[in-house]
Structure 1
Amino acid sequence: MGKFSLFTLTVTSVSITAGFILLYYKMYDVKRKKNKWRQVGKLTEIVIYPLKAGTGIFIDEAYCIDRGLVEKCNKKFIFGDRYFIAYDEQTGMRISCKNAPFITKICIVPMNDTSVELSAPAFQKFHLELPDISKNKVNCMIYPDIPSETIDCGDEVAIWLSNVLFKKNKGVRLGFFVRDKIKIREDSAGMLKDYKRLYPNIKKQDLGAYSFFASYLLINQSSLDDLNTQLPCDEEKVTSLNFRSNLTITGLKAYEEDNLKLVKIGEKVILKHIKPCTRCLVTTLNPKTAQFSRSSEPLKTLKRYRLLEDIEKNKAENWSPVFGQYFGLYEGGCIKIGDPIYALDY
């Protein structure tokens, strides 16, 4: 090869490399390219579910970390979304709304830096001193085939939970998540491995404490309003609690949240899209009464018009309709009710 050809090849290689670098910064340096952000609405609800499948708590402000929403006020321990999990003593499998609907009436609130209080209608409240994080580490199961570490909270609260849920003195245990002490769930085995093939944005670092697929679940108020107009006239209107979401936003048209890839809340927090949230029987559970809808609403109505377009994904999701979107953390920080919501335009 002559000198001229070699020089031409070198210049071409440098140009291609520079082109890729430029493309990278154009697409991914979202913090620097602030002029690309477009305000699309505002944040109207922040909800944490301290107990997975338990009662949702509306809060005015929160801190966003990789493991989901946490309350700002806590110092010695972090009290956050899905940080507690009830699980079967024998199998380790999580207790869900499907097999124990009354779990949605169990509320956990912080009392001080070392304890929480559990409550449920018609039951005496239970004061729980948080367990020693150096002991009692066990495995539970969020998915049937992937163990999840947790800190077991002891026998006394296990008896209380078993009585509340099944009128028994044993059978249910309570686990507690501790940031940096609990091993991150793997995303390369079992059900998550299958889902990653269809949704490559699923990453183990974005799975949250004991969430299903990601740390944050966002819904659009306009979509909720539209769904309520399509329900049968004699059906009770549904709320965000039917969908157990963390964040509700306004300003977008109905179902425009499907197109969000990167979302900024306020001036700092940035969330990245993971996958659509497909819906199951839990949406038909009335959050006020803990009873399932006999008419299977709103799930029945959603199935009419909110199925995924991709056939393979529909099969994997058991032909379940979409309502809301899962997000992971890109940039953490504080958020509060009323914060502007921005979308990134590419």
Structure 2
Amino acid sequence: MIVSELNIYPIKSCRGISKNQAEITQKGFLWDREFMLVNSAGKFLTQRQYPQLATVKVEIQDSQITLSSLDQSLRSVTFSPTLIGEKIKVEIWRDRTTAILQDDQVSQWFTTLLNTPCYLVRQSPDYIRSIDENYAPSNNLPVSLADGYPFLITNTASLTELNRRLKETYNNEAQTVSMNRFRPNIVIETEVPFIETKWKIIRIGEIQFSLVKPCTRCIITTTDQITGYRNPLQEPLKTLGTFRKLAQGIMFGENMIPLNLGIIRVGDSIEIIE
């Protein structure tokens, strides 16, 4: 088994960036979910409410970030991330933390795209957002602005099995989906679907990870991650629910916490430790 994909998502719910290698930090890959959008009350906004966020391409070059969209009425915008802007209280799920407002111009760009007032914020390094202590191996372990955990791992055989069932149900190749529907950080190439559900500790390259919780899936999986089009049949979530539904929800992939720091690369092998 080897790593076949590495992805970061600098702005929560916008498009990811594929990497050949990525740096592990305690709270996730470097730059992953470093930014998110909030409304005027400071509550986070995602593709759940605004599927058009899937159309936003994010590019990082030196110290600047450039955004572009399929929306032809919007020109691309470039901004310099800051850690010295105004700090505001924000809410992400049940967590309340402090984040740093970014350039007004980029917030206005997103306001135009979503047709609702919103603001781009950056996670503040001065405030730890902790992983749920029910799953973390120790207290006060940090996480980015991801839904709850530093890393999400999926495997290619799981997607193959899901697509087999979709084709069987609809007799239509058009209903099959790409892995980007599940927005993983790490994709591994395997021949056994959902094999990662049996793992507790693995090593990728020189980095050890603790697999702590299956990932509950939501309506974002029904959104095309290029066009923002939402499947009216609620696929692939509907079919996934026929064979991957547990008491906690519909599952695909596993959430992970890093046990040491460093760099992992596409092509790295996976060792099962426990």
TM above 0.5, yes or no, is yes
Match of 1:244 among 170, 180, 183: 183
Partner residue in 1 for 2:20: 60
Structure number with larger C-alpha Rg: 1
- Does structure 1 conserve the Cα–Cα contact (< 8 Å) formed by 2:130 and 2:141? no
Amino acid aligned to 1:322:
M
CA RMSD for the aligned pairs? 1.8
In 1, Cα distance between equivalents of 2:130 and 2:151 = 18
How do residues 18-167 of structure 1 correspond to structure 2 at under 5 angstroms? 41-70=1-30, 80-89=31-40, 91-113=41-63, 115-121=64-70, 122=72, 123-131=74-82, 133-143=83-93, 145-166=94-115
- Does structure 2 conserve the Cα–Cα contact (< 8 Å) formed by 1:158 and 1:173? yes
SS at match of 1:226: helix
Range with bigger deviation, 242-251 or 117-126: 117-126
Q: Does 1:293 align with 2:231?
A: yes
Q: Stretches of 4+ moved more than 6 A in 1?
A: none
SS at match of 2:254: strand
- Does structure 1 conserve the Cα–Cα contact (< 8 Å) formed by 2:79 and 2:103? no
Match of 1:262 among 159, 176, 201: 201
Cα displacement string for residues 179-198 of structure 1 (whole angstroms, at most 9, x for unaligned residues)? xx2311246xxxx57xx3xx
Amino acid aligned to 1:52:
K
Q: Does 1:275 align with 2:200?
A: no
Label 1:297 to 1:255 Cα distance change in 2 as closer, same or farther (>3 A): same
In 1, Cα distance between equivalents of 2:185 and 2:130 = 23
Q: Which runs of 5+ in 1 are unaligned?
A: 1-40, 71-79, 309-313
Say which structure is richer in helix: 1
Report how far residue 107 of structure 1 moved. Answer: 2.3
Percent of matched pairs sharing the same residue: 25
Q: Which runs of 5+ in 2 are unaligned?
A: none
TM-score (norm 1): 0.73
Range with bigger deviation, 147-156 or 289-298: 147-156
Say which structure is richer in strand: 2
Amino acid aligned to 1:330:
L
- Does structure 1 conserve the Cα–Cα contact (< 8 Å) formed by 2:203 and 2:209? yes
Partner residue in 2 for 1:7: none
Label 1:201 to 1:277 Cα distance change in 2 as closer, same or farther (>3 A): farther
Report how far residue 284 of structure 1 moved. Answer: 0.7
Report how far residue 288 of structure 1 moved. Answer: 2.5
